[in-house]
Amino acid sequence: MPELPEVETIRRDLEHLRGRTITRVCIASNADRIIRGVSPDAFARRISRRRIDDIARRGKYLLFHLSNRDGDPSVYLAVHLRMTGSLTHCRPDGDCGPYTRAVLSLDDGTELRYSDLRKLGQLWVVDRPEDAVGALGPEPLSDDFTADRLHESLMKRRAPVKAVLLDQRVIAGIGNIYADEALFAARLHPQRQASTLSADEARRLHRAIRRVLRDAIGNRGSSFRDYVDGAGREGSHQLKVKVFRRTGKECYVCGAEIARIKVGGRSTHFCPHCQPVEDR
Ligand SMILES: [Zn+2]
């Protein structure tokens, strides 16, 4: 599932579409449930003939700010890729893969295509970004996200630290891959009760989260299954992960076997030696 580094990679890939105008919108007839809140026809009407003024990201959401039109105020096209969604910029004759659910034709003749094997992704047209994204925690790579703020959030929670990292209201954009990787980098056991982390451990985790996310963006995201970037190419961070889906393999740091457990119903990968249960 695409997380912050994957969505940010797509955002950067699509940034050059700023200034383009959406001329036509086609929604596949079997994909109407990906359009949220309005009918596919109303959705197409509301975003057509608007210029893309900006492409931003909040957590795992992409936000296209679309210009005002004929006296109507500007709107936002919000996209959440969920499990198998992808958003690629193609020439009209280009092959962007099967499962295309929505095609946005642009004024230079190219197309922005939304594809989704499982059709679990979501597209909204809203007046304000908050109407689509809801209440999200701080962006982990912004200045708002400090070690103190993270420690404060953790202190209020009795859940395992891994489960708290996945809570989008605490930090926006982290999913299963980068939660496991950040906890390994911080040498913290995923089942540690969040409220028991010391200020020092929270600082370690804060630093680890930022480093892991930045490294993954540098490698253009992780393609374990379906993820592709804004041009349809795979990322390479899946080759660099230290614990995620490395069950039974040797830890790169200590040589112990990477273990897999369930935390809050999610598969969780960690090194039992580098991430001991007890505090150190
Ligand atoms: Zn280890």
CA of 272 relative to ligand 1 center, distance in Å: 7
Burial class (CB in 10 A: 0-12, 13-18, 19+), 167: middle
Q: What is the mean pLDDT of residues 233-252?
A: 97
**Would the CA dihedral through 188, 193, 195, 196 be positive or negative?**
negative
CA of 167 relative to ligand 1 center, distance in Å: 26
- Name the residue with tokens 């020092």: 200
pLDDT tens-digit map of 132-188: 999 999 999 999 999 999 999 999 999 999 999 999 999 999 999 999 999 999 999
Report pLDDT for 155.
97
| Nearest one of 212, 214, 159 to 182, comparing CA atoms | 212
CA of 258 relative to ligand 1 center, distance in Å: 7
pLDDT tens-digit map of 39-65: 999 999 999 999 999 999 999 999 999
Q: What is the mean pLDDT of residues 104-116?
A: 96
